[in-house]
Each structure stands twice: as structure tokens, then as C-alpha cells.
Amino acid sequence: MLTRSSLSALSAALLCIPAFSYAGEWSGYISGEFRAFANSPTDARQHDNNLSFSAQPEYYTDWDNGRQSFTVVPFVRWDENDDERSHVDIRELTWLKAADTWELRAGIRKVFWGVTESQHLVDIINQTDLVEATDGEEKLGQPMINLALIRDWGTLDLFVLPGFRERTFPGEKGRLRVSPRVDTDQAIYESGDKEQHIDYAARWAHYLGDWDIGLSYFNGTSRDPRFAFGQNNKGQPVLIPIYDLIEQWGLDLQATLGDWLWKFEAINRSGQVDRSGQSKSYTALTAGFEYTFIGIANSNADLGVISEVLYDERGDDALTPFADDILLASRLTLNDEQSTEFLLGMIFDSDDAARLLTLESSRRFGDNWKITLEGQAFINIPDINTELLVGVRRDNYLQLEIARYF
Amino acid sequence: MHNFSFNIKHVGLLALLGLPLLAMAETPEEKGLAIAIEADKRDTGWQSQTASLEMVLRNRHGQESKRNIRTKTLEVDGDGDKALSIFDSPRDIKGTAFLSYTHALVPDEQWLYLPALKRVKRISSNNKSGPFMGSEFSYEDLSSQEVEKYSYKYLRTEEIDGREAFVIERKPAYKYSGYTRLITWLDTEMYQPLKIEFYDRKKALLKTLTYSGYQQYEGQFWRPTNMSVVNHLTKKSTDLHWKDYRFKTGLTSRDFDRNSLKRAR
């Protein structure tokens, strides 16, 4: 899982920790999750209702007046049915040194870029841990050395990313997955260095009054694979992930104007081969707003209305199902002591009747427990081979998660 | 408090020197503003401040839930302060950090750091009247109290819980304020509030905030140990217990930028 170059980033992080120990602190959570499906699966080998447990402890210590710190966040999941979903990862293992005009981080980390809700186009540093969350929001830890230059003109982050992380995909019994399943053992790389290829990235971020802006660049192995049809060693059909070398420019903007948040993300990527086998540079964007009605019906609750347009120049040749779509969503925040929240969203395909409905809600119980209810419904997904979501068309589910934090 | 008797003599001495005559030339509005300016002046020069607080939320049935928060504040000349709040509990939001650049009359700039997503979110700050962390305090109640935020009217001087206080009516100048007016009992010695009554947009008494356990730091700055607010409509209450106040801590604006959010602990 960890390559030699990523190990060198790791040991760089470890070397920076003084040999004597500091009183650090532990925190984290353990969680149980139950997922119930409305229908039998597309592929008879896939499971029905599913139980799973996960834990994510975190250790943190700092010294040098808080200017240096060390953080470790391992993650482990056990899944009742899916061997690929039962997995271990190091989400974070970072040494940090903060000075007045710069910050240096070495080790394994997660980094988030961007502003929109429906998809995260500019966010490219970390690989998606797709077995963790069907919406792609969970990420794998990425080995890196990151120098941030902090100046009057903003923050410039420079990244060296040794060691590529492959996207995780559900196994044979796993659900939700594409059909045929993805065989990660046969991954193909454009780079001769394969997963040892060293990627580079940079981002400038600043804010001016009501505007927050980020401009980013990435050069290396694409986090998004394309797929080729193949066979596994049992002669069964599988999809083989292919990772191209790409170059990507990204822009993210947010204007915070009263109760309106206006959001915009755009990327220009070259080197990525599309579904027609062409490698053309293309542009994709997400643009939209979130408007919040504050204190609705004389209560403390806020109601947010979100709409975003998702566009990809490649259209049907895009590797994502969101080439020309619209998100409509509503976020209800009760602002109560249990931090109760609901988010209900639907993505509409503008070419056909396909719809993706998403529910996320959560509430704290007592001081240390949190219950999360999530669900997705795939509506009017055409049963044709060219449809990217064809494998999940019978996978409408509701998921209840109970987590104990410590 | 131990220096209470001294204070009475002090006031009496001022009276003999003819200060009331001067005061007569003032309108109640001028006197209210003068007191606010004096209070502001006395609380200037702390440069930066750090403190920890425990927040106890109590519902109408008396059930409690707790939050632990650490705050860092940077004094900014001629503008509202910069403030960073870091949440230690409830544990599910541990590491969440809230950064605000406060202003008197225009909306604050606010960012929220969500550690689970590693995401820094710019958030709308129009709504200063919204509840802070599900408590009976609003963001408005806890942000820095600049003189320009209100218009003032001196009402009277009276004793409250054995302390002499100026009673001043304040009306928010900020158009998104959740209040129409605040009646403040300001200690005549410390120039710090002892009690505030908040009147909502319907002009009804919404909540009462009381301060207690004042201590003086650096020979100048008075800070309360306890702040307790009761909402008269919902019967819910929130107590703040402050500790570990430190001043002139050497923090700079660098400790209050968006980068500092991500490593706030």
C-alpha cells in the first residue's frame, strides 16, 4: 500500500519528532453502521442489508509553543460482506512546523480545496476512498511534503506528492458498485514509475473583502481512473482502472454577500483520456449559490436553499455521470443543542429523466454520541451499458450510523 | 468586593468636587455615550487575550449539556477585534474552529474550519442574532463591544446586588441585530456590565444576562468568572464559566489568519 517514496516522506515526518515523549492527547470515534437496501442487487453475488464497524483514533501532540506538532490518525473498517471495504488506512501522520511567514508539513495528510457542494472539481490532492462513502466525500491519506508561504498577497501552498494512492472500489460482494466490478489488482499506469510517480501541485489562496479565491495547479497521475474491459484470473469480466498522467488548472471562488453564498469552481485538464478514447484537454465547472433563510417561522432554525449547475465539456464522453446536470438541495439547521441538521438534495440530468436523490442528517445524543441517517436513491437510471450509474440502479439505500466519540 | 468601601468614598469625593454640576450640562444621550467611551478606554491596551470557558446549556427541564471552548482574541485599533474559538467538546465537533474579524457596523468576516472534512468554509455573518452553539447566547452577545455598535441613553444610577451601577439604555446601530434595545447595569467602579436585559424585535424582554466573580488582571482589565443568561420565552439558560485568562500573550495577526484555523488546537 505504501510505496518506497511515500515511506521516505513518512520517515522525514518521524525524524522531526524529538526522541523524548510529550504529553499528547487521544481523541476519535468508534462507529457502527447498518445499511438497508430497498431492492435485491443487480448482480446476484452482491449482498443485501449490511453491517459494518469503523474506528478512527487520533493522537496529537505539540511542542515549541504550539509551533510544532505531530498528528497520527489511523482508520480501520470491518465490513460484514465486502472484503474490499474491510480496510485499514493512515488518514494522517504529519509533522508540522509553523513559522511567521511559512508552514511546513511532512508526512501523510488530507487536504481539501474548493467551495461547492455537489462535486469537488478542484479538490485533487487526495484519492477518493470510494468504499467508505458512495458520494466520494471520504479520502485516503496522501504522502506529501507541503510548504505554505504566507504573505500579504495570500497563501501559496507548494506540494511534492511522492507515492500515488489507487482509488478503492467495492469487491465482488460489495454494494454499491459498477458492474462488472473494478479489479484494482490489474491497475494500469501511464507513467513507467507507476504508483511511484512523484506528483506536484500548487495553490494560491487569498481573500479580498467578501471574496475568497483559490487558483491551483496539479501535474501528475490523475486521481480519476478510466476503465478498460478485461478479465480476472477466474475468467470473469472485470473493469481495469487506468491512471493517466494529467495536468490540471483549477479556480475556486466564493462571494459571501449577506445571506447569499455564490460559488464557482472550474478546472481545465489535459492528458486525461475520455470514454471515446480521446485525450483532449477539457473544461468542467460547477457554479451556483446557497441562500439562507435565517430564523424561519420565528425559530432558531435556518433553512438553506442550494442550487448548482454541473458541467463537463466532454458531455457523454466524460468519466463522471455529472456532465450536464443541476443540483437542487435544501439544508435545515435547527441550531439546537444537539446540532440537528438535514440536507436533502437531488441532482437532475438535463439530457434524460435520471435523478440522484441524497439525504444526510445528523443529531447528537448526550455529549458523546452522534446518530447519522443517510440515504441515496437512483431514479430513472437507464438500463443500458453506456450508462455510468447502471450498476447502482437497484441500490437505493438508507444507512443508520451510531458513533461514540471520545 | 474588598475595595467597595473605597469606591463609595471615591464617588463621594468626586461629588464634593462638583462633578454633578458638570453632568447637568449633559443630555442623557451624551452622558450615556461618555460612559461607553470611558468603559471602552479603560478596557483598551490588553493587546491579546486567551481564555478557556465551559458552557453549560440547560433546558426547561433542567437537563444539562456542556461545551468546552478555548478563545483567543486580538485587539485591533479602530476596528472590532479578531477572535478565534476552538471547540474541545462535544467530542464530535472537537477541533472545529471559528474565526471572526468583527466590525462595528458592517457584517463580520467569518470562517469555520471543519476538521473531519479538512475544509475551511467562509460563512455568512449577517445573522449575528443567531444562537451560538445551540446556546442562549447569540454571536452578537459574544462579539467585541465597540462603542459605535449602539446609541446610548443614560437612565439613572442605582444599586444592584450591593454594587453601584449606571443604568444605560443601548439601541443597536447594526441593522441585522436581534434586539431593539438593551438595558445595561454598568458598574461605576469597574466600568464593566453587571446585568443586561435584552429586548427582542417585538420589544418584549427576551433574556437577562448577569455577570459575577469579576477579577482584575494586569492591574487594569476586569473580567467576569461567570456569565449566566436566562431566556424568558423558552425558560432555557446558559452559563459560561471562564478561566485561565491571559493578556498580552504575544499573539499576532498571523495567529488569526485562515492558515491558523487549520492548525488551531
Mean pLDDT, range A90-96, rounded to an integer? 96
The 8 Å CB, 24+ separation contacts for B174-177 are B174/B104, B174/B105, B174/B128, B174/B140, B174/B149, B176/B107, B176/B126, B176/B127, B176/B128, B176/B129, B177/B128, B177/B129, B177/B140
Find out whether A350 and A324 touch, Cβ atoms under 8 Å.
yes
3-state secondary structure of B20: helix
Do A256 and B124 lie within an 8 Å CB cutoff?
A: yes
Mean of the per-residue pLDDT values of chain A: 92
CA-wise closest residue to A128 among A139, A144, A143, A117: A139
Do A62 and B265 lie within an 8 Å CB cutoff?
A: yes
The torsion region of residue B178 among left (phi > 0), alpha (psi -120 to 50) and beta comes to: alpha
Residues comprising chain A, all counted: 406
- Most A-contacting residue of B72, B89, B121, B124 (CB-CB within 10 A), to test interface: B124
Mean pLDDT, range A327-353, rounded to an integer? 93
In the predicted structure, residue A196 carries a pLDDT above the cut 80:
yes
Question: What is the per-residue pLDDT for A206?
Answer: 96
Sequential DSSP letters for A57-125: EEEEEEETTTTEEEEEEEEEEEESS-TTTSEEEEEEEEEEEE-SSEEEEEEEE-------SS--SS--S
Pick from A27, A69, A155: which is nearest to B94 by CB? Answer: A27
Pick from A62, A100, A292: which is nearest to B124 by CB? Answer: A292
Taking CB atoms and an 8 Å cutoff, what residues of chain B touch A122?
none
Most confident by average pLDDT, A38-42, B51-55, B108-112 = B51-55
A9 pLDDT tier (thresholds 50, 70, 90):
low
Residue A133 C-alpha cell reads as 462513502
Q: Tens digit of pLDDT for each residue in A35-46? A: 999 999 988 999
Tell me how many residue pairs between chain A and chain B have CB atoms under 8 A apart.
97
Question: Chain-centre distance of CA A279, in angstroms?
Answer: 24
The larger pLDDT score, comparing residue A243 to residue B149, is at: A243
Mean pLDDT, range A170-185, rounded to an integer? 91
Q: Tens digit of pLDDT for each residue in A27-81? A: 999 999 999 999 999 889 999 999 999 999 999 999 998 899 999 999 999 999 9
Distance CA A54, CA A88 (A): 10
Residue A384 has a CB neighbour count (10 Å cut-off) of 7
CA-wise closest residue to A72 among A60, A85, A84: A60
Domains of chain B by start residue, with CATH = 4-262 (2.50.20.10)
Question: What is the per-residue pLDDT for B18?
Answer: 47
Q: Tens digit of pLDDT for each residue in A120-138? A: 999 999 999 999 998 889 9
Q: Which residues of A lie inside 8 Å of B (Cβ-Cβ)?
A: 27, 29, 60, 62, 66, 69, 96, 98, 100, 103, 110-112, 115, 137, 148, 150, 155, 205, 207, 212, 254, 256, 258-261, 292, 294-295, 300, 302, 335-339, 364, 366-368, 370, 403, 405-406
ipTM over 0.85: yes
A8 pLDDT tier (thresholds 50, 70, 90):
low
Question: What is the per-residue pLDDT for B142?
Answer: 85
Residue B94 C-alpha cell reads as 472537537
> In the block, which residue shows the cell 439530457?
A351
Mean of the per-residue pLDDT values of chain B: 88
Do B254 and A367 lie within an 8 Å CB cutoff?
A: no
B5 pLDDT tier (thresholds 50, 70, 90):
very low
3-state secondary structure of B79: coil
What are the distances in angstroms from CA A2 to CA A88, A144, A164, A196, B257?
Answer: 12, 12, 9, 10, 34
Distance CA A236, CA A353 (A): 32
Pick from B91, B117, B127: which is nearest to A405 by CB? Answer: B91
Q: Tens digit of pLDDT for each residue in B79-107? A: 889 999 999 999 999 999 999 998 877 78
What are the distances in angstroms from CA A237 to CA A15, A228, A240, A389?
Answer: 46, 10, 10, 18
Quick check: bond before B90 cis, omega within 30? Answer: yes
B28 pLDDT tier (thresholds 50, 70, 90):
very high
Residue A240 has a CB neighbour count (10 Å cut-off) of 19
pTM of the model: 0.88
Question: What is the per-residue pLDDT for A386?
Answer: 75
Distance CA A156, CA A144 (A): 16
Taking CB atoms and an 8 Å cutoff, what residues of chain A touch B123?
256
Q: Tens digit of pLDDT for each residue in B160-169? A: 999 999 999 9
- Asked whether the CA dihedral B240, B264, B120, A372 is positive or negative, the reply is negative
Distance CA A104, CA A158 (A): 10
A390 pLDDT tier (thresholds 50, 70, 90):
confident
Most confident by average pLDDT, A173-187, B1-15, B230-244 = B230-244
CA-wise closest residue to B139 among B123, B152, B121, B119: B123
Question: What is the per-residue pLDDT for A66?
Answer: 86
In the predicted structure, residue A150 carries a pLDDT above the cut 70:
yes
Q: In what order do the strands lie in the sheet with A226-231?
A: A188-189, A237-243, A226-231
CA count, 13 A, side-chain hemisphere, B81 = 26
Kindly state the percentage of chain B with pLDDT values over 70: 91
Kindly state the percentage of chain B with pLDDT values over 90: 68
Q: Tens digit of pLDDT for each residue in A283-336? A: 999 999 999 998 898 888 999 999 999 999 999 888 888 889 999 999 999 999
Report the chain A residue with the minimal C-alpha distance to residue B254: A100
CA distance B65 to chain A (A): 7
Question: What is the per-residue pLDDT for A327?
Answer: 97
Q: Give me the torsion for CA of A10, A11, A16, A18, rounded to 10°.
A: 120
